[in-house]
Amino acid sequence: MTDLDAAGAPDASCTAKISGCSRHYPWYVLGILTLAQTCHGIDRAIIGLVLAPLGREFFLSDGELGFLAGFAYGIFFALAALPFGFAADTFNRRNLMTVALSLWSGATALCGLATGFWTLMLGRAAVGTAEAAGSPTGMSLISDYFGKDRRATAIGIWYLSSGIGLAIAFVVGGAIVEQWGWRWAFAAAGVPGLLLAPVLFLTVREPPRGGQDGPDEVVSDEKQQLSLPARLRLLAARPGLLYCIFAIVMIATGIYGMSTWLSTYLIRVYDVPIGRSGMIIAGAYGGLGSLGGFLAGGAIDWVNRRRNGFEPALTARFGAAIPILTALAGIGMVMVSDYATMLVMLMACGFLSASYNGPIYAVIVTIAGPRLRGLAVSTVQLGANLVGVGAGAYLIGAVSDYVGGVGGVAWGIGAAMLFTFAGGILLLLGARAIDQDRKRSLAA
């Protein structure tokens, strides 16, 4: 039995309903997991802040910078996603998260030692590989600490980490870049995760799988032994789930791509200093984005409780409106020429950007069930990072190179937003498929 598996059994002090733990303890765990995911956000986002100085120092084109920000990270994230998803459904998730957090934080710090394109690419590849464990492990743990009636709220709070991490990366990182250069920004970005890893290992307990879904859903050791192909077949048999997975991939293409290039867009088109651009993006995505994510998760949980239970189709429709509005705001942002109007549209994008996460991931982890949660989330993350983060950042850089000029990056952002709009349409189709599945199951 491996170290990851040795503690794989749930902590003896926690029953299937976490009854042996303080009622406040799940919220403590959520806080620690949110901090860990914030480190994930910092280490992923920091590259977007330093694209301009990297390009100057290493004489890189926008396409090459887009590759470093996107594919260098996304390809290796994608390669590791399914194995880590399988591991999150099989082994001790607390231990897996501790190891992954230490690795991606250390790799980020080492990016500060890069000597050129290839060494920086290796560093970003290492970050992407380790960060592939973060979402399936964290979301699986959250689902076993919070029931269906609180899951969207908990996931929405957990996803505050994306905005907070981006805000820290751009505000603190921007100040560090201006004072000491981009190398120290990478080094500083890796420190929080290295400090948090031992705290997570020592204070977070492994809960029973499925304990928050009712006694019939608690996962036995025998059920956990399903092979990876068998689990993938189970996922593929649920069309509503597949629509949601593909929708998030499309949404991420626009949102991740735009957030990566926003600093460069502000610098080139509006001559905003790098430090101020970091503050603007932090306010939009860190402040307003965090608020939007929290409000959306809480709102749909409130609606579902008033309707006497979690309704996946209703929740998916609620989530579908968000990327559609985000895309319209993003396209509007790059079409206007007035600075103040552009800022209003940017703030709207920031507020909406993370709001879909709580509702849609609550749908995914609930439909997937305890045996498949880690794999379902890792499948989403595979597509979101390979196509979303990878292709989104590269697409904007490639369009910018093709169009040329100061405004080329604006055309790239506008093109990427079309993918986010399409993701909202897929969520509407997913809601319809979920309704059809429910009707078939009731008729059977």
Q: What is the pLDDT of residue 21?
A: 63
What average pLDDT does the segment 390-405 reach?
84
Residue 301 domain-assigned (yes or no) = yes
Map residue 442 onto helix, strand or coil: helix
The two three-digit tokens of residue 339, written as one number: 């600075």
Burial of 225 (0-12, 13-18, 19+ CB in 10 A): exposed
Residue 9 domain-assigned (yes or no) = no
Among the residue ranges 176-190, 291-305, 376-390, the one predicted with the least confidence is 376-390
Q: What is the pLDDT of residue 3?
A: 42
Handedness of CA 390, 393, 396, 401 (dihedral sign): negative
Residue 76 has pLDDT above 70, yes or no: yes
Query: Cβ–Cβ contacts within 10 Å for residue 109, how many?
Result: 20
Q: Encode burial over 199-219: b for 16+ CB neighbours within 10 A, e otherwise.
A: ebbeebbbbbbbbbbeeebbb
- Top-confidence residue, 368 or 22: 368
Q: What is the pLDDT of residue 301?
A: 85
Name, of 218-227, 275-284, 290-299, 314-323, the range with top average pLDDT.
314-323
Range of the domain at 272: 22-214+224-439
Query: In this structure, what CATH number is given to the domain that contains residue 310?
Result: 1.20.1250.20
Residue 220 has pLDDT above 70, yes or no: no
Residue 7 has pLDDT above 80, yes or no: no
Among the residue ranges 7-16, 88-97, 275-284, the one predicted with the least confidence is 7-16
Q: What is the pLDDT of residue 212?
A: 64
Q: What is the pLDDT of residue 428?
A: 96
Q: How many domains does the chain have?
A: 1
What average pLDDT does the segment 354-372 reach?
85
With a CB cutoff of 8 Å and minimum separation 6, the contacts of 85 are: 136, 374, 375, 376, 377, 378, 379, 381
- Top-confidence residue, 90 or 19: 90
For the chain, give the percent of residues with pLDDT over 70: 91
Which one-letter DSSP state was computed for residue 387? I
Residue 374 domain-assigned (yes or no) = yes
- pTM confidence score: 0.73
pLDDT band at 372 (very low <50, low <70, confident <90, very high): confident
What average pLDDT does the segment 46-60 reach?
86
Residue 202: enclosing H or E segment and its boundaries? helix 182-203
What average pLDDT does the segment 367-372 reach?
81
Alpha carbon distance 320, 244 (integer Å)? 10
Q: What is the pLDDT of residue 224?
A: 54
Alpha carbon distance 194, 171 (integer Å)? 20
Name, of 218-222, 272-276, 342-346, the range with top average pLDDT.
342-346
Residue 11 domain-assigned (yes or no) = no
